[in-house]
Amino acid sequence: MTTETRSEAASRRVLLFAGCYADAGPAIGLAVTLAQQMQAALEGVLALDPRMEAAEGAALVMAGRARGTTLALSRERLSLAYAADARAFRSRLDAAAARLSIRWSFRTDTGALPDLALGLRRPGDAVILGHRRFLPLRGPVIALEEGEDGPAARLARDLARALKLRARVLPAGTPAAALEPLAISALILPQSVQDDPARLVALIDAARCPVLLSPAG
Amino acid sequence: MASEPTALSPDELRRRCDPAALDFATTDDLEPLDSLIGQERAIEAIRLSAGMRHRRFNLFVLGPEGSGRHAAVARLLAEAAGERPAPDDWVYVHDFDAPDRPRALRLPRGAGPKLRRAMAELIDDLAQGIPALFESEEYQSRRAAIEEEFGGRNEKAFSELAQRARERGVAILRTPMGFALAPVKDGEVQKPEVIEKLPEAERKAIRENVAKTQEELSGFLESLPRIEKEHRAAIAALNAEMAEQVVDLNLADLRAEFAGIKALEAHFDALRKDLIANAELFLKAGSQRGEGAFPIAPAHIHDTPRFHRYAVNVMVSHAEDAIGAPVVVESLPTLSNLTGRVEYMQQMGTLVTDVTLIRPGALHKANGGYLVLDARRVLTEPFAWDALKRCLETAEIRMIGAGERLGLSATGTLEPEPVPLDLRVALVGDRFLHLLLEKHDPEFAQLFTVTAEFGPDMDRRAESMALFARQVAAVVRRECLRPVTADGVAALIEIASREADDREKLSLVLSRLWDVLREADHHAREDGAETVDRAHIEGAEAARLRRIDRVAERMQEMIARGTVMIDTRGSVVGQVNGLTVASLGAARFGWPARITARVRLGAGQVVDIEREVKLGGPIHSKGVLILSGYLSTHYLPETPLSLWASLVFEQSYGGVEGDSASVAELCALLSALAGVPLSQSLAVTGSVNQLGAVQPVGGVNEKIEGFFDACSAQGLTGRQGVLIPRRNADSLMLHADVVEAVADGRFQIHAIDHVDQALELLTGLPAGRRGLNGEFATGSVNANVEARLIDFAEARRDFGRMVAQAERRDDD
């Protein structure tokens, strides 16, 4: 049995990374719930993909209300869009966290996900990578872990209860392609998966949902 | 000239009530009488209106303040209501097809509150049941199947698209705006300047690959709305199917409880449809009820605004075993208090409303029974009278607020379905209002066809006095007062006669008498007396009069100090003491007023100075014109009247109205013509007709007492007194001090029938009657008047000749 000190509790964080506000949206509820459960501070990070720098002038196929139309990607346009997303991200975080009196902060950073997240996390931090599907699907919270009693599985059950979802545990070795047809509300990856960057990226791309990198231990 | 003696005896000045004739010791010996007396006509009318089934037989009750109209109407209507069945309940519910028009439902007695409770329980149950169902394994499995079907199909398509792009060397980068398509080589995005340096064939290939990917991506994104729609429809269908189970299960209990109530069947059907279609409301409620500092207990979910659409708003309800129709007295009949109102609540800076914010009015509460309103208050409240008439006319209660009627309401509001109206309205007012309404409002007579008129008094007979005594007994018992002795009741009867302004009558404005009784009881308690007797009653009445006597006292003071010039001794030509009376609230008092007349040669004109300066009212002017008629026909009927005369109320700076001074004015005029002085010891009241007959007037008691007080202040000589019309003699109910002074020979009251009697009393000379020779007796007042008029006529004729001669000389 371990006893947690007050300073440890105070320094715990839930880091929510997203490349755009659209990806952050579905993850904010999860992040707030997790921060409440962990009694941790919530930190939102809007990550600017460094590849955008090189992609200036590339074709930009619009999503949202102007979906399907094409424009040329310009630095100004991108800069304005990131600023708008940052405001929306921050505002939504404020509203959700304030309601439950959770300490929160927000910032922007440059770097590709998940490398940026893995680089910034500290021991004990929970990291959520915002991602989403094209349709607002509602599915279980899935943990990839061997056995039903591991930390990822327990976390999945706790979160599912709080979010009124089902929890499901799949073997840690489940291929990424097997996640593609599933509607997943959140995917929880244990430390073992986090240590394999290529598999991590493949799983994130396949699940296309908020991905929680559970804290070590 | 009438030969009947004019001086009245003390017995004729006040009708005392003999306590021995009342046949009881104290009111404890009497059976209390709570009902009205002397108002049989009004009671009959109220009973007719209460019993009639035709809807236009509404009631207007008129009568003097304090005659017990309100209490009598309420009591008689309550009696009638007891014989009628208690009405049904009325509730408002949301109309799911027309959300701004709540539906009015008629339910059996007592069912309204039950339905409200049952509906609240249903919502609370669903708030538990629906989330539980949606968390069930069955729902989750079926939902997962749908999600996976759509998710799999859609996401797989995108994965394949992304794979093809990768194979073409095109990266799909997510940006806040959409997807950027950038050529990649060895995993790195190729910058434009690098691509520019590539051979044309490679550049062309890159452009084609990007274009192809772009086309596929655009196609994919454009297909999303349709898929999203299908996805939503599939989820909604599943939700509805699941919700249907729990809604039907819960609604079955409700249907069973209210089986047989036709009005509810359609509502329950609509309710079921809406609950199923909006099951997500309950999911949200379930997810939010634990949030916040003060989470909503599941049992009170129905109280939250989003569920108000399912609420039952009970407008009016009666217990299942209620007996009798309602009798509602609305003391503040504003528009909204009558027809009900739609209230609003503030939500996010705007005003919103819903079915639970509809408030009933008095018409709802009295529906099926009786509504009692004060006519003056209804008429003075904006739109209230008009709304009441509309409701009675259309036989339905329609809620339209004042703001909407004025077009000032900018907020969206509800238009509740009108409730059918079946009630009897009793308006309590006075004669003036009744006349105004009859004259100026044609709808009034159609809607209020029964009039119940409360009389101000009743005959003072042995039977009525006995009934009056029993009413006193009822007040004593009801208000726990001390018993009143027979002498005390006799004193009250005398006050009632005085209030009626007629000793042969008893006032039915009983509230004032009961106030005297209460005050007398107070004095009796202070005295430690067991009973209330005459002294307590008379003491209370005297105290009451003293409290309201300030203005009268001030007037008498001004007379005593000579500020208001009134002589009560000596004789003066063309000057007489008239008498006036004034009412200031409860105070009614009289005082003398000097009237003077002046005459000279003229063209037959009597000038009423009061009228000339617009201080005289039309009745006063009429009285003065009657004097002209009397003069011109009584004296020298064959000769043109050749005088100019003026009449004035000296030191009168307010208006003068009424003809009760016309005898005095005529006496002053004849005195001025005859050159005969009038006694200032006497005052005169009474009106006169063209034949010289003296006619009765009002306020005689107060006028006599006013002059008596003035004389007392200047010293009673025994010659002072008042001349009153004989037809007023029966009205006399003078205060004891006046009666005492008359009995002692210190004051006199004369009852006269003709102006000649007044002239004789005022001048001490015979008035004079025309003899067989056609002339008045020599030395009489009338002979002197006629002689003066002949002088005027001759002077006028001589003056006319003189003028004519002068004109001829001028012509020559």
CATH number at residue B601: 3.30.230.10
**Looking at the domain assignment, is residue B221 inside a domain?**
no
User: Any chain A CB within 8 A of the CB of B174?
Assistant: yes
Q: What is the CATH number of the domain that holds B466?
A: 1.10.8.60
Domain count of the fold of chain B = 3
User: A122 and A129 in contact (C-beta within 8 Å)?
Assistant: no
| d(C-alpha B109, C-alpha A3), whole Å | 66
What is the pLDDT, as a whole number, of residue B7?
93
Query: Which residues of chain A, if any, have pLDDT below 70?
Result: 1-10, 64-68, 216-217
* Same-domain pairing of B662 and B773: yes
Mean pLDDT by runs of 10 across the 812 residues of chain B is 76 93 93 88 92 88 88 90 94 94 95 95 89 82 84 81 90 86 85 85 89 89 86 88 91 92 92 90 63 52 86 95 93 95 85 92 96 95 95 94 76 88 95 94 94 92 94 95 96 94 90 94 95 96 89 89 92 95 84 93 76 74 82 84 86 80 93 95 95 94 95 93 94 92 96 96 93 88 93 88 87 76
Angle at B200 between CA B199 and CA B201, to 5 degrees: 95
User: B47 and B335 in contact (C-beta within 8 Å)?
Assistant: no
List the strands of the sheet with B89-93, edge to edge: B103-107, B89-93, B312-316
| d(C-alpha B377, C-alpha B374), whole Å | 5
Chain B residues touching residue A167 (CB < 8 angstroms): none
Written as six digits, the tokens of B87 are 């009405």
What is the pLDDT, as a whole number, of residue B724?
96
Which of A20, A32, A56, A60 is best to mutate for the B interface (most B CBs within 10 A)? A60
Written as six digits, the tokens of B761 are 């009393």
Residue B348's contacts (CB-CB under 8 Å, 6 or more residues apart) are none
Residue type at B166 in one-letter notation: R
Residue type at B94 in one-letter notation: H
Q: What is the CATH number of domain A8-51+78-128?
A: 3.40.50.620
User: Any chain A CB within 8 A of the CB of B442?
Assistant: no
Q: How many helices (H) and strands (E) in chain A?
A: 9, 10
User: Any chain B CB within 8 A of the CB of A183?
Assistant: yes
CATH class of A133-217: alpha beta
Q: State the DSSP H helix or E strand holding residue B323, giving kind and residue range, or none if neither.
A: none
| d(C-alpha B4, C-alpha B1), whole Å | 9
What is the pLDDT, as a whole number, of residue B2?
45
| d(C-alpha B655, C-alpha B665), whole Å | 16
Which of B136, B137, B147 is best to mutate for the A interface (most A CBs within 10 A)? B147
Residue type at B48 in one-letter notation: L
Residue type at A196 in one-letter notation: D
B 347-406 residues with CB < 8 A to A: none
Strand, coil or helix: what is B273? helix
User: Any chain B CB within 8 A of the CB of A138?
Assistant: yes
* Same-domain pairing of B577 and B697: yes
| d(C-alpha B446, C-alpha B57), whole Å | 9
Contact B176 A166 (CB under 8 A): no
- The pairing of strands B450-453 and B59-62 is parallel
* Same-domain pairing of B698 and B571: yes
What is the pLDDT, as a whole number, of residue A2?
40
What is the pLDDT, as a whole number, of residue B151?
77
DSSP B649: E
Query: What is the number of CB-based contacts under 8 A between chain A and chain B?
Result: 148
User: B235-240 — which CB contacts under 8 Å span 24+ positions?
Assistant: B235/B143, B235/B146, B238/B139, B238/B142, B238/B143, B238/B146, B239/B134, B239/B279, B239/B280, B240/B276, B240/B277, B240/B279
What is the pLDDT, as a whole number, of residue B285?
63
Chain B residues touching residue A85 (CB < 8 angstroms): 176
* Same-domain pairing of B391 and B463: no
| d(C-alpha B209, C-alpha B463), whole Å | 121
- Smallest CA–CA separation between A161 and chain B, in Å? 10
- Smallest CA–CA separation between A1 and chain B, in Å? 32
* Same-domain pairing of B724 and B613: yes
Task: Select the residue of B180, B188, B228 nearest A58 (Cβ to Cβ).
Answer: B180
User: B147 and B206 in contact (C-beta within 8 Å)?
Assistant: no
Q: Where are the alpha helices (DSSP H) in B398-509?
A: 402-406, 431-440, 442-447, 462-478, 486-500
* Same-domain pairing of B693 and B599: yes
Domain with B774, as residue range(s), is: 553-794
- Smallest CA–CA separation between A121 and chain B, in Å? 23
**Looking at the domain assignment, is residue B518 inside a domain?**
yes
Chain B residues touching residue A181 (CB < 8 angstroms): 148, 151-152, 155-156
Contact A61 B181 (CB under 8 A): yes
User: Any chain A CB within 8 A of the CB of B99?
Assistant: no
Contact A99 B292 (CB under 8 A): yes
Task: Select the residue of A21, A55, A67 nearest B173 (Cβ to Cβ).
Answer: A55
Question: Which residues on adjacent β-strands are paired with residue A105?
Answer: A43
Residue B505's contacts (CB-CB under 8 Å, 6 or more residues apart) are B457, B458, B459, B460, B497
Out of B432, B454, B476, a domain closes at B454
Instruction: Report how far apart, in Å, the C-alpha atoms of B196 and of each of A55, B201, B204, B211 are.
Output: 14, 11, 11, 17
| A133-217 has the same fold as A8-51+78-128 | no
* Same-domain pairing of B616 and B666: yes
Task: Select the residue of B150, B210, B287 nearest A137 (Cβ to Cβ).
Answer: B150
- Number of C-alpha atoms within 13 angstroms, CB side, residue B275? 27
* Same-domain pairing of B371 and B511: no
Contact B190 A19 (CB under 8 A): no
Contact B179 A63 (CB under 8 A): yes
User: Any chain B CB within 8 A of the CB of A166?
Assistant: yes
Chain A residues touching residue B171 (CB < 8 angstroms): 51
Phi, psi (5° rounding) for residue A117? Answer: -65, -45
Chain B residues touching residue A136 (CB < 8 angstroms): 228
Q: Which of B144, B147, B161, B142 is nearest to B223 (CA)?
A: B161
> What residue ranges do the domains of chain A occupy?
8-51+78-128, 133-217
**Looking at the domain assignment, is residue B220 inside a domain?**
no
DSSP B265: H
Q: Which of B293, B247, B300, B236 is nearest to B271 (CA)?
A: B247
Chain A residues touching residue B182 (CB < 8 angstroms): 51, 54-55, 58
User: Any chain A CB within 8 A of the CB of B152?
Assistant: yes
| d(C-alpha B333, C-alpha B362), whole Å | 8
User: Any chain A CB within 8 A of the CB of B231?
Assistant: yes
* Same-domain pairing of B708 and B633: yes
Written as six digits, the tokens of B195 are 């691509």
DSSP B485: B
Contact A54 B190 (CB under 8 A): yes
Q: What is the dihedral of CA A122, A128, A131, A137, to 10 degrees?
A: 170
* Same-domain pairing of B534 and B587: no
Chain B residues touching residue A84 (CB < 8 angstroms): 176
Cβ neighbour number for residue B410 with a 10 Å cutoff = 8
User: Any chain A CB within 8 A of the CB of B176?
Assistant: yes
| d(C-alpha B485, C-alpha B476), whole Å | 11
- Number of C-alpha atoms within 13 angstroms, CB side, residue B602? 12
What residues of B are annotated to the active site?
A: 660, 703
Omega before B131 cis (within 30°)? Answer: no
User: A38 and A126 in contact (C-beta within 8 Å)?
Assistant: yes
- Smallest CA–CA separation between A2 and chain B, in Å? 31
* Same-domain pairing of B629 and B499: no
Chain B residues touching residue A186 (CB < 8 angstroms): none
Contact A60 B135 (CB under 8 A): no
Question: Which residues on adjacent β-strands are paired with residue A110?
Answer: A48
**Looking at the domain assignment, is residue B65 inside a domain?**
yes
* Same-domain pairing of B503 and B405: no
**Looking at the domain assignment, is residue B737 inside a domain?**
yes
User: B87 and B325 in contact (C-beta within 8 Å)?
Assistant: yes
Contact B148 A182 (CB under 8 A): yes
A 44-103 residues with CB < 8 A to B: 49, 51-52, 54-64, 66-70, 73, 77-78, 81-82, 84-85, 99-100
| d(C-alpha B469, C-alpha B261), whole Å | 55
What is the pLDDT, as a whole number, of residue B287?
53
